[in-house]
Amino acid sequence: MAQDSASELDVEQLVDGICDRFELAWTDGPPPDIAGFLDQAPPQLTLRVLAELWAIELHHRRDADGRRVDDARLAEIHPQLVPLLAELPTLDGVGPGPGGASDVMLASGESSRATRRESGRGKQRPTESRGLHIRCPHCSNAVELLADSPVDDVECESCGSQFSLVGSPDDEDAEHALDTLGRFELLSRLGVGGFGTVWKARDTELHRIVALKIPRKGRLSTREVEQFLREARSAAQLRHPNIVPVFEVGREGDTLFIISEFVRGVTLSEWAARKPQPPREVAELCAVVADALHCAHTEGVVHRDLKPSNVMLDYSRRPRLMDFGLAKRDAGEVTMTMDGQVLGTPAYMSPEQARGHGHWTDRRTDVYSLGVMLFELLTGELPFRGNAAAQIQRRLTADPPSPRTLNRGVPEDLATISLKCMELDPNRRYQAAAEVADELRRYLAGQPINARPLSKLGHAARWARRNPALASAIALGAVLAVAGPTAAVVIGLKNQRIEEQLAERNGLIIQAEEDRARFERRAADAEERLAAITSLDPRPDADRDWRRELIERLLDERLARYAAEVNDLPSAEQRAAAKIALARLLAAADRNDAAATQLVSALAEELEPSPARTDAYLLLAELLLLAGNQEGAAAALADMRAEGEGESPTNLIPEIDARMLQVRAHNDLAAKTTSLRDARDSVEKLLNELPTQADRLPEIAKQLLGE
């Protein structure tokens, strides 16, 4: 399938190359020989290339009076081509050969470029159908025209869009009369859209081939002019390699036109040809389209008519986003439509567009259309079928089916991405096209996507919200059907559970009694062993001697390491606690100078007052007094008092200790007397504040004995 698309692109590129060289030869020198260029085409493309070259020469060839020649005159100039012209198909009884070649090109399905119709061809064709099959310009699906079907108002049953195959006679005459528009030569018509006709044109000043879009009507209403100019303003501000750039917008008399880059290639709808495409190739293309949409969205532009026919695939297989004819800007020109007007192609239209709420459309509208496009490329089908009214009604009331229901070869992740893009509620969709591109590239890279498929319960809940009356009736019937038997079962199970809990509780009580008895026996054994151990060495300071010996050995072996590592601890609390602990060990080993150094360093850490800091101040003052540094001891006690934490009984004990140390630290008799009096006052206050209850004696002993 991909090879067929590639070969079609190669054919288009070959034909365009021959035609472009033929046009350049006409503009750069004497009239070229059409037969020489026809020889450059392979035999199977001879008639196709002849139709193109014939139309180009009709456009450029002039007689001696400067007037354009007709088919008969051109046949006289090239008599050797008359047999080939006779092989071209005809339309409406127009015979082959001179005088009919232009009509031949109109009927030929081989050419989408050479469809210029000359003003002297004859009367307007009738608007009745001949029982033909044509392709919709929006979705490329086949549309059957019955014998009595009008061709000026055709509706596509697949995507619901409406288009016309002919214009009014006035429009035809105005179109035929156009050979140039400003500085642009109109070379060939590329196609007709819902709003305008696109021509291949030459910029005579810049010498480049461009695409020129003009309205289908000769004159435009004010609203139509606004819509046409809005496309130019929206697209002209966008700069992205995957967006077809708009060069300028112009006006020639009453005719408006837009000039954009001429892209050689096919539309995405032509490439897909209504068949499922390889999932990885679809993911790669849609990721690039999502990038282009994101660029437009960041500039405040919402496309609002995204569909495969608005995406060109150039010869390098690069998708190019085009046709911002319905684009809406988020800022400045908020919208040019009235509330209730439906804009867009129904098959790709978001629910908010289908409701006619133009002021609600935002970037999530394009995300919805991107999901429809992803669905179509993966399955070859649209999520909703029928005419425009049926499609709009279904997308307002139903969720789209999973792509996997139409094509089991679609990977679960791609189906999930497509369905999330097409959520009925915009808040449930991807909120930006960039998220869609990221999800698609996660799939391509073999990574898990962020979106999760909707569960069966979720589908049921959504169905219930859409059908509340029916859902309530079903729920009530289910409750009545199972309520009685279920209640009996529930009560029986509940009684059984109560009995089991009572039995379990009784077992726990028995187990607790056994555990208590076992604990009492073990406690008695422990007391007997402790008494036996303490009887071995009756000296009260026996444990103190071995502890000091152990501390001294510890400091001899590890003091340098501790002193170095204590400063590398991560937090101030950890450093202070470690330094105070090291100081207490040093003081226990009578290494008072080193202990004082560690205490000073610990108290230098910027921490909140605490009992540990108070004890550190007291120990520092005592060490300084032992060293004969009374001033230093007094300063340490003053710092401690400055950080006082209040006067609870627990805090009064270190306060009394500090007062007594001040008595020893002061040389002045008056200061000693004052400190001693303050200490006695604190003792009296502590005595009054200590608990009087007997059951709190353990707490009193712990405070007074320093345990």
Which is nearest to 337 in space by CA: 345, 324, 328, 349? 328
- Check if the beta carbon of residue 53 is closer than 8 Å to that of residue 184: no
Question: Could you tell me which residues come within 8 angstroms of residue 442 by beta carbon, excluding any fewer than 6 positions away?
Answer: 413, 448, 449, 450
Q: What is the mean pLDDT of residues 319-337?
A: 59
Q: How far apart are CA 203 and CA 212, in angstroms?
A: 10
Query: How high is the pLDDT of residue 201?
Result: 94
Count of residues making up the chain: 707
Query: How high is the pLDDT of residue 479?
Result: 66
Q: How far apart are CA 259 and CA 248, in angstroms?
A: 5
560-603 tens-digit pLDDT? 887 888 888 888 888 888 878 878 778 888 888 888 888 888 88
Task: Kindly state the tokens that stand for 265.
Answer: 């290639």
Architecture of domain 570-705: Alpha Horseshoe (1.25)
- Check if the beta carbon of residue 552 is closer than 8 Å to that of residue 586: no
Secondary structure (DSSP) of 551-586? HHHHHHHHHHHHHHHGGG-SSHHHHHHHHHHHHHHH
Residue located via tokens 């992803």:
374
Query: How high is the pLDDT of residue 22?
Result: 86
HSE, side-chain direction, 13 A CA sphere, residue 500: 6
> Does 551 have pLDDT greater than 90?
no
217 is in an annotated binding site: yes
> Does 105 have pLDDT greater than 50?
no
* CB neighbours of residue 493 within 10 Å: 10
> Does 54 have pLDDT greater than 60?
yes
* Residue type (1 letter), 596: A
Highest mean pLDDT among 302-316, 575-589, 612-626, 641-655: 302-316
> Does 107 have pLDDT greater than 50?
no
pTM for this model (two decimals): 0.46
403-413 tens-digit pLDDT? 999 899 999 99
> Does 278 have pLDDT greater than 80?
yes
Q: How far apart are CA 100 and CA 106, in angstroms?
A: 10
For residue 645, the SS3 value is coil
646-697 tens-digit pLDDT? 545 555 666 666 666 666 666 666 666 776 777 677 666 666 665 654 455 5
**CATH code of the region 272-469:** 1.10.510.10
Confidence of residue 338 (pLDDT cuts 50, 70, 90): very low
Domain with CATH 1.25.40.10 in the chain: 570-705
Question: Could you tell me which residues come within 8 angstroms of residue 667 by beta carbon, excluding any fewer than 6 positions away?
Answer: 630
Q: How far apart are CA 276 and CA 406, in angstroms?
A: 10
- Check if the beta carbon of residue 599 is closer than 8 Å to that of residue 580: yes
Domain with CATH 1.10.510.10 in the chain: 272-469
Query: How high is the pLDDT of residue 149?
Result: 62
Which is nearest to 589 in space by CA: 565, 614, 559? 559
* CB neighbours of residue 333 within 10 Å: 14
| Sign of the four-CA dihedral 283, 284, 288, 289 | negative
- Check if the beta carbon of residue 275 is closer than 8 Å to that of residue 1: yes
Confidence of residue 334 (pLDDT cuts 50, 70, 90): very low
Query: How high is the pLDDT of residue 240?
Result: 92
Which residues pair with residue 427 across a beta bridge? none
Least confident of 9-23, 128-142, 486-500, 665-679: 128-142
Task: Kindly state the tokens that stand for 162.
Answer: 């409406």
CA distances from 672 to 224, 410, 632, 634, 676 (A): 104, 95, 16, 11, 6
* Residue type (1 letter), 433: A
Q: How far apart are CA 122 and CA 103, in angstroms?
A: 11
